[in-house]
Amino acid sequence: GQNIDQPTEMTATEGAIVQINCTYQTSGFNGLFWYQQHAGEAPTFLSYNVLDGLEEKGRFSSFLSRSKGYSYLLLKELQMKDSASYLCAALDSNYQLIWGAGTKLIIKP
Amino acid sequence: IAGITQAPTSQILAAGRRMTLRCTQDMRHNAMYWYRQDLGLGLRLIHYSNTAGTTGKGEVPDGYSVSRANTDDFPLTLASAVPSQTSVYFCASGSGSSTDTQYFGPGTRLTVL
């Protein structure tokens, strides 16, 4: 079956760095997405990786290893507004998104 | 309208009633999607449409139907609601390319009693 695993919840301190991991098992693979979702709001796009390596976008970076079925989202210089759920989603061979349950990130002052 | 809108914002519905959730986008996106989001589970695709006039079934289509008469609108209908359809429903749209970003509406919180 197809499966996306990511931690349910993480806690970090304002100003610090946090890494949110995601492992995936899909029938075929056409890329990996990260979305941010604040409580009670819609998911919003953060990043897309299809090739191995690190993609940096301001305070946020996303990494992909296709051979390991692994990705992570790295958030630097954490701010209180980064408190949200982070959703990992893999694009399978039919170009349909398979979503993880999300990682709730709690930022403490 | 800017982006993608959904209506209603929330609804409480008696079991057995028929309900249509509305979704409209003004980005001229070809593809549109309906998801449900339940606590502890990932977003699950209900139905999708790659272009006006076509629709397809997602992971959890039973009990739901959709239509795509034009580019902008993609309503989701529950013919006879059941309590297990209590969820938050998100509509999304995208350009339709295989790896495009999906843009989400604000969601509809539906409770079926």
Q: Contacts of residue A50 in chain B, CB cutoff 8 Å?
A: 99
How far is the CA of B46 from the CAs of B60, B61, B78, in angstroms? 5, 5, 11
Q: State residue B10's pLDDT score.
A: 97
Q: Which residues of chain B have pLDDT under 50?
A: none
Q: State residue A69's pLDDT score.
A: 96
Residue A95 has φ and ψ, to the nearest 5°, of 60, 35
Cβ distance B43 to A44 less than 8 Å, yes or no, reads: no
Q: Contacts of residue A9 in chain B, CB cutoff 8 Å?
A: none
Identify the three-state secondary structure at position B113: coil
CA-based radius of gyration for chain B: 13
Q: Which residues contact A16 (CB under 8 A, 6 or more apart)?
A: A78
State the Cα–Cα distance between residues B1 and B16, nearest whole angstrom. Answer: 33
Q: Report the residue of B43, B49, B50, B102 to disrupt the A interface, i.e. the one with the largest count of A CBs within 10 Å.
A: B43
**DSSP assignment of A83-94, as one string?**
-EEEEEEEE-TT
Residue A82 has φ and ψ, to the nearest 5°, of -80, -5
Q: Does A102 contact chain B (CB < 8 Å)? A: yes
Q: Which amino acid is at B95?
A: S
Cβ distance B43 to A87 less than 8 Å, yes or no, reads: yes
Q: State residue B88's pLDDT score.
A: 97
Mean pLDDT value across chain A: 95
State the Cα–Cα distance between residues A79 and A67, nearest whole angstrom. Answer: 33
Cβ distance B40 to A91 less than 8 Å, yes or no, reads: no
**Cα–chain-centroid distance for residue B30?**
15
Question: How are beta strands B19-25 and A103-108 bridged, if at all?
Answer: unpaired
Q: Report the residue of A94, A99, A103 to disrupt the B interface, i.e. the one with the largest count of B CBs within 10 Å.
A: A99
**Chain B residue nearest residue A48, CA to CA:** B101
A13-58 per-position pLDDT tens digit: 999 999 999 999 998 999 999 999 999 999 999 999 999 999 999 9
